Structures are given as C-alpha cells and as structure tokens.
Chain A
Amino acid sequence: MIRSLFGSGDSKERAGEASAPQTGSAAPAAPPAAQKASSLLDRLKQGIQKTRAGIVTALEDTIQGKKEIDAELLEELEFALIGADVGIQTATEVLERIRQRVDRKLVNDAGELKALIREHLLEVLQTAERPLVRAATPPTVLMIVGVNGVGKTTTIGKLAQQLGGEGKSVLLCAADTFRAAAIEQLEVWGQRTSTEVIRQKAGADPSSVMFDALQAAKSRSTDYVIVDTAGRLHTKSNLMAELDKMRRTAQKVIPDAPHEVWLVMDATTGQNGLEQARKFTESSGVTGIVLTKLDGTAKGGVVVAIARELMLPIRYIGVGEQAGDLLPFDAEQFVGTLLA
C-alpha cells in the first residue's frame, strides 16, 4: 500500500514499489567524447548570449554556420525543455543559469550538461517544497480547485483511497453542484473507497454544502474532509469569488480551514498553466499542486515555471484513472522524465 503524504512514514520508503510513468522518446546522440571542453564552453556562452534575444535563432545560426555537434546539443536541450512545456522564459533562464555553472565546473559531454540542467530544475522544484499543514485537532480540511476537466474529482477519489488505506477517517464534500452528474461522480468514488459523501441537491450553494460537511466532520472528529469544487476558468471572476466565499464559510466552522488548497493541473496544459496558478493562488490561497495525467506523453513542465514564480510545491502526480493511480511527487523522478 502506498502511503499518502499525510501518513507519518517516510514517503521515500515506497518509492521502489511504484513504477514511474514511462514517458518520452530516446534522446538523440551525444556529441563525440573528443569534443574540447573550452570550445564547447565558448560556444555555449555565445549561444546563451544570443538566447536572451531569441534562442531559436541563435541555435539555427550556429547550426547553419558550422555543423558542430555542440550546437545541435544546445538545440536539443532547448527543444527538450520547450517540448516539455517548461516555457521559453524558463528554458532561457535555465540555460542561462547553466552557463554560470559551466563557468565554474568543466563540462565535458552532453551527459554532464544534461545533469546540470536536471540539477537546476531539481533545485527550482525543491526550493518550492514546504511541509503540509495539518489541523491541530481534526478535521484537516483539504480543498481541491482547478480549471475544467483537469481531474479534480478523480484525484479526490484516489486521495480517499490512500487515506482510508492508512486507517484515516475521511469525509468527501460534493461542492461541485454545477456540472451535470458531478455529485453522482463523486458518489461513485465514495462507494468505491467506502467513504461517506456529504451532498445536497444539484444547483445548491457550494458554500452551504461545505458548511454541512465541515460541521459533520467537526462533530465526528473526522480526520480529513476533502472538498470537490466545480471546474472553473481562472478568468471568470464571479466563479473565483465563489471560491473565496467557500473559504470564508469554512472559517466560520473551523477558523484555520481550509488547511490545504490544491490546484489540480493537467500535464497536457501549456503555458496557460502559469496564469491558472497565479489566479487561483490570488483568489483561493493555493498551497500545492497535483499534476494529473502523467501517464500520457505530456511532461507537465509548466509546473517548473509555477514552482519558480509562485513557490508552489507539487504534492502528488496522477498516473491513471483508477483509485491507486496517485503517487507522491518525486522531484528527481519528475526531472528525469522531463528531459528524457
């Protein structure tokens, strides 16, 4: 059984049991070992200076000028980052940072260069890590938010499964009263994981459902309440205000609730993910990210940009549609597949 982040055990101990999502294509050939370090370094510097103005041009120029393997390597790395949805800004910054390190260390081959990039990405992700907030006395309230169709409800089902497996008591709150059959969907997850779902009628006020759920959890000292919210685009200020209202409602029942607010992000999301994270953080105090659908071919690199700018930790990754397909986020593994 995979332990959840909430469990007291070391989350690393089950890393071996879980298989990483298999993604990515084979990396193109590395440059010949005979490559001189100094020339690589020079070209790298050159390339990166141009990068500020426009990475793609710089790379193309280098390729057109001399058919050197190192330029191809740079391009490969650049495109690997962009192709993973890291975004051109972050990609540029990463390469810039690498240059600074290259200045100090000697880089001999592609493998090392890649390792440096990994190291840097890892640093970005690890800097954003922070401990989970748990209520001093139960219940701990966890709110799940995000744009439409990213996997919020499914993630909640998976979380219920994990926490239940650890012997924790869990209550699910069906506060998506808007989307057709959203309540029914959560109820199926409740049945699958033997977890009670607090619900009202379709169309009811989400805050009111949340109030009910928190009251129930409080009186029963349930360990966790997980609140499903309707998908909403971050540009719709009325819907974002609704999340704020829900937070305030929660505080009426439990002053320090919600303890955690997780933004669910679909790994296929491109650069818009950053704006999503900004807006949801502004309006609903996001404390972490769940990155779903990593079982596909998308890499979810936009979370690097998010971690960098908003210092938001990634809590879990979704790797399938079944109850067990949720893994605690492992930055090393993630960075490994990002550049695979």
Chain B
Amino acid sequence: MFDSLSEKLQRVFKNLRGEGKLTPENMEAALREIRVALLEADVHFKVVKQLIENIKVKAMGQEVMSSLTPGQQVIKIVRDELVEILGKHQSRIRTANEAPTVVMIVGLQGSGKTTSTAKLARHLFKASHNPLLVSVDVYRPAARDQLKILARDLKIPIYEGEPGNNIPLELAKGARREAIQTGKDFVLVDTAGRLHIDEDLMVELQTLKEALNPTEILFVADAMTGQDAVKSADEFHKRLGITGIVLTKMDGDARGGAALSIRQVTGQPLKFVGVGEKADALEAFHPERVASRILGMGDVLSLIEKVQEQVDTKNAEEMQRKLLDDEFTLADFRDQMKQLAKLGPLESLLGMMPNIGPMKQLKDVKVDPKEMTRVIAIIDSMTPHERSNHMVINGPRRRRIAKGSGTTVQEVNNLLKQYAQARKMMKSFTGGMGKGFLGKRLGKMKMPDLDSFLKGGGF
C-alpha cells in the first residue's frame, strides 16, 4: 500500500543536508510528506491544514535530541500532536444520578450501531451492571430481530414492547419503565441509521433525547470513513450534543484519520474502538495507538496487549532472552506456534503490526491452521537433540522426520527455512525494540489504564 511515513521521513532527511538538525529547509520537505500521509489517512483537509501549522510552530527551533534522528523526532512531534488532539483515554460510560442510566446509540447507516450496542451491553454486564436493551429501529428490515438475536446470545434482556408497536418514542419509554420496574441500571437504546441531512429522522432523535434524558449519546462512526466524516459528525453533534464516539471496524486496515476529524469538529471524547463483528470485539480507545495508526506506524501496543493477554509473561520474557542470546531452538519455535494458535487468526495480529523495518516481511505471512498443525507435527518428530541443534538435521535425518510426521522432505525443508527466517526476523524485532525509537516510546506508555480495562473495570 503506502510507504509508511517514517520511511518517507527517513528518506527526506537522508537526502537533505544538515541532517543533524531540523532546519526550515528540511522541515518543509518533511511537512509535505506529513501532509500527504494525513490526507491518505483520510484526515479532513482542513484539519490537516491546521495540524501542519501547529506542527511547524512546534518543530521550529527544536534541538534534535541526541537519541533521535531528525526523522524520528519529527514523527514524535507529529504523533504527540495527534495524541493531544485525540484526547485522553476515557473509556468510561458515565452514570446518571438516578438509575437507570440511558445511553443512546446513534449514527449513519451501517456504521455498526446495533453491533456496538450489543458489545457495550456485554461490557457493562461484565462490569457487574444490569443493562436492558431496546431497539427503536422500526425502519430497516429485521433491525429489531438483529438486536434480539444478539441479546439472546449474550443472555442480556431486551425490551420488545407490545406486539405491533412500532413507535420509537413509545418503545424507548417502555424500555425505561421496564428497567425501573425490574431494577436494571442501564438502558441502551439502539437507534436506526440515518443521514445527518434527513430532517425528519434527525428531529426524531431530538425528540427521543428530550423524552429520555440520556446520560450518554454515543456517535458510532466507521473507521473507513473519508472526508465526509466532518459533515455528518458535525451535524449529529449540533442536533444532539453527542457525548462520545465509538470508532468501529478498526480490525481492518483503514488508517482511521476520520477519528481526528470527528474529534476535532465535535470536541467529544473517543471512547471505544470496535475491532470485530463478535460481541467481545470492543476495546478501550487509546490515543497513542490510533495516532500511530493514522501515521501508518501500526498498532504495536494493541499487538502487545493481545499477546500479553494470552501468553504468560514469564514465558514471553524467557523467549525474548533466548532470542537475544541466540538460544531460540526449534522446540521454542514449536511452543511459539502453539501460542500463536491460541491467539486466533494470525492476520488480525499482523494487521496491527507496524509497516516498518523487519515487520514488513511479516505482513505477507499467511498461516493456515492446518499448516500450523503440520509444523508442530514435524517438530514433534525430531529428537530433542535435533530440536536444540537444527544444524545437525541433514538429508537422512530430514527423510526420517518427514516419514515420522507424515509429511514430505520438501515440507521439512520449508519448515527449517521458516525457522531460520523467524529467528532472524524476531531477533531484529526484539533488538530494535530495545534500542530503537519505538522501544523508547513503549517504555513511556502507561499500561495500568489498559490493564484495568481488560480486567473489566474499565468503566
């Protein structure tokens, strides 16, 4: 796809004189690249213009820190600026003084409202709340069925109203009444998708707001949205006064520049990020991650978090030590494969990786589960000695291993090649993390917020 901004900036500074310093001359070239990167990431052009101004002012006259190259330093300035605009990590749903807390979920058609409603309900439930769901989408075919099925799968109650009642306001009011009667502390109202220029339907939302007095009105936006994000978000905010943003479909490869635009025009916090179709695919919003992603630097933190979730830390530390000390054996490789299998589809992990340096090669790696099983079988057929000394595996040994694992010599060869590559790649990755720019940034990240969210206390 695109070269990452960091690569482009490295090139800019390599080709310019006075590499040691940020000069007006090299900044100019760098700013051009930043502009292009932001536009390619779908940040609204007016927002880009403003951003570039701010970055220019901040960058001028800064001494280059000895630890960073000019390219890295510019990225840091840009990234810090984006992080600042994106705002703080605030993945909480506020509660009303008096239960039930009403949350309205609004947005354009197909943005992911119904799915996000179910996801939020699940998270609230996990955090010991008792949500009641209601769909007031009486327009789209089977929209209410959709929420009903999701609720049923989650075993979370849903208010369906009197049979035949399809008046949004009555359904919503009915749900609140039922919540009070049955002691529910949250009512999540899934509304129909609508265009911001649809006068009647926007008025409908205003009416619902007046009647329900919601504590939160969450605007659900698709991460793939382009320049139009500004218009729709602005209008929803003007009409309703939204209180937070949910950015969906971040499991794809959209850079998500719309997040910046929406945040800029509404000033409201980004609260959650949707990362899949299933009900558990909801994450806290982390400005640093989204900023990195907008700049094409991948989402290393999400990756690390996901790995942390699954892999036990001691094991991981041990693995890292082995990599650094060159003790990463085929047995370790097998363990890694098993760990990876636990992490789920590899593509979703690789999608989070930065598109830079050694990680770039990983992007093209495709692993199907069958292949993984084969790899494990091959390694299982080796002797312990072979596993820790891959150099001894000669022709006859390869034939024996192939036979023992029901594979071919070709496959054994491939595996050994893969292993060698993995060693090299992972070594440069861990090495780079230790010494390089990202490593430094990672070191500064505050992880506690994240942990508490994962434990379900994020609200």
CB-contact partner of B141 in A185, A233, A267, A272, under 8 A: A185
Q: A233 touches which one: B1, B251, B255 (CB < 8 A)?
A: B251
What size tier do the contact residues of chain B reach? Answer: 35 or more
Smallest Cβ-Cβ distance to B1: which chain A residue: A275
Residues of B within 8 A of A238 (CB): 345, 347, 368
B146, A181: Cβ atoms under 8 Å? yes
Task: Judge whether A272 and B32 touch: CB under 8 Å.
Answer: no
Contact B347 A84 (CB under 8 A): no
Residues 5-46 of chain B, each 1 if its beta carbon lies under 8 Å from chain A, else 0? 000000000000000000000001101110110011110010
Residues from 187 to 206 in A contacting B, C-beta threshold 8 Å = 187-189, 192
Q: Looking at the assembled complex, report how far the CB atom of A320 sits from the nearest CB atom of chain B, in whole angstroms.
A: 9
30 contacts between A and B (CB under 8 A): A79-B45, A82-B39, A83-B227, A85-B42, A87-B39, A89-B40, A147-B224, A147-B252, A148-B110, A149-B110, A180-B147, A184-B142, A185-B143, A187-B142, A188-B142, A233-B252, A233-B253, A235-B253, A236-B251, A238-B347, A267-B228, A268-B108, A269-B225, A270-B224, A270-B226, A272-B42, A276-B224, A296-B195, A297-B228, A298-B231
The segment from A53-61, A64-72, A94-102, A159-167 that touches chain B is A53-61
CB contact between B197 and one of A54, A149, A236, A296 (< 8 Å): that residue: A296
For chain A, give the interface size range: 35 or more
Residues of A within 8 A of B348 (CB): 235-236
Per-residue interface assignment for chain B, residues 141 to 153, with 1 indicating a CB less than 8 Å from any chain A CB and 0 otherwise = 1110111111001
Choose among A53, A235, A236, A272 the residue with the greatest number of B CB atoms under 10 Å from its CB: A272
Q: B93 near A: Cβ within 8 Å? A: no
Q: In the bound complex, how far is the Cα of B455 from the Cα of A196, in angstroms?
A: 48
Interface string of A267-306 (1 = CB under 8 A from B): 1111111011000000000000000010111110010000
B454 to chain A, nearest CB (A): 23
Q: Does A150 contact B (CB under 8 A)?
A: yes
Using a CB-CB cutoff of 8 Å, which residues 244-276 of chain A contact chain B?
266-273, 275-276
**Which residues does chain B contribute within 8 Å of A148, judged by CB atoms?**
110, 112, 249, 277
Give B244 Cβ to nearest chain A Cβ, in Å. Answer: 20
Contacts of B224 in A (CB 8 A): 147, 266, 269-270, 272-273, 276
Answer whether residue A151 sits at the interface, using C-beta atoms and an 8 A cutoff: yes
Contacts of B40 in A (CB 8 A): 87-89, 271
Question: Could you tell me the distance between the alpha carbons of A150 and B29 in the complex, rounded to whole angstroms?
Answer: 38
Query: What residues of chain B lie closer than 8 Å to A273, measured between beta carbons?
Result: 224, 226
A192 to B139, CA, bound (A): 13
Q: Indicate whether B397 reaches chain A with its CB closer than 8 angstroms.
A: no
Least CB separation from B151: chain A residue: A180
A315 within 8 A of B: no
- CB-nearest residue of chain A to B226: A270
Q: Which of B31, B140, B228 contacts A57 (CB 8 A)?
A: B31
Give the distance to chain B from A197, nearest Cβ to Cβ, in Å.
12
State which of B52, B142, B255 has its C-beta within 8 Å of the C-beta of A272: B255
Q: Is B222 an interface residue, CB under 8 A from the partner?
A: yes
CB proximity of A124 to chain B, nearest CB, Å: 18
A237 within 8 A of B: yes
Q: How far is the CA of A120 from the CA of B166 in the complex (A)?
A: 49
A234 within 8 A of B: yes
A83 to B229, CA, bound (A): 11
Let me know if A130 is at the binding interface, CB within 8 A: no
A179 within 8 A of B: yes
- For residue A119, CB closer than 8 A to chain B, the reply is no
B48 touches A56 (CB 8 A): yes
Whether A321 and B140, one on each chain, are in contact in the complex, defined by CB atoms closer than 8 angstroms, is yes
**Given A85-B227, A233-B249, A296-B197, are A149 and B222 neighbors across the interface (CB < 8 Å)?**
yes
Contact with A along B108-149 (1 / 0, CB 8 A): 111110000000000000000000000000011111011111
Taking a contact as CB atoms under 8 Å apart, the answer to whether B28 and A270 are in contact is no
Residues from chain A with Cβ under 8 Å of B92 in the complex? none
Judging by beta carbons under 8 Å apart, are A151 and B110 in contact? yes
Of all chain B residues, the one with the shortest Cβ separation from A202 is: B149
Complex alpha-carbon distance, A79 and B48, angstroms: 12
Q: Which residues of B contact A157 (CB under 8 A)?
A: 141
Chain B residues with CB below 8 A from A266, complex form: 110, 222, 224
Contacts of A88 in B (CB 8 A): 36, 39-40
Complex Cα distance, B143 from A189, in Å, reads 13
Q: Could you tell me the distance in whole angstroms from the C-beta of B190 to the nearest C-beta in chain A?
A: 12
- Tell me how far the C-beta of A26 lies from the nearest C-beta in chain B, rounded to whole angstroms: 15
Taken together as a complex, chains A and B put the C-alpha atoms of A204 and B31 apart, in Å, by: 52
CA distance A235 to B28 in the complex (A): 35
Decide if A268 touches B226 in the complex (CB within 8 Å): yes
A279: nearest residue on chain B (CB-CB)? B253
5 smallest A-B Cβ distances: which pairs? A270-B226, A149-B110, A54-B32, A188-B141, A270-B42
Return the chain B residue nearest A296 by Cβ: B195
Given A298-B228, A321-B140, A57 contacting B110 (CB threshold 8 A): no
Could you tell me the distance in whole angstroms from the C-beta of A83 to the nearest C-beta in chain B?
5
Cα A191 to Cα B171 in complex, Å, equals: 25
The docked-state distance in angstroms from the alpha carbon of A89 to that of B35 is: 12
A180–B140 Cα distance when bound, in Å, is 14
Check A149–B49 contact: CB distance below 8 A. Answer: no
Q: Which of A180, A188, A234, A271 contacts B226 (CB 8 A)?
A: A271
Residue-wise, chain B 335-364 has the 8 Å CB interface mask toward A (1 for contact) of 000000000010110010000000000000
**Which residues of B from 70 to 108 have beta carbons under 8 Å from A?**
108
B 239-290 contacts with A by CB, 8 A:
249, 251-255, 257-258, 277
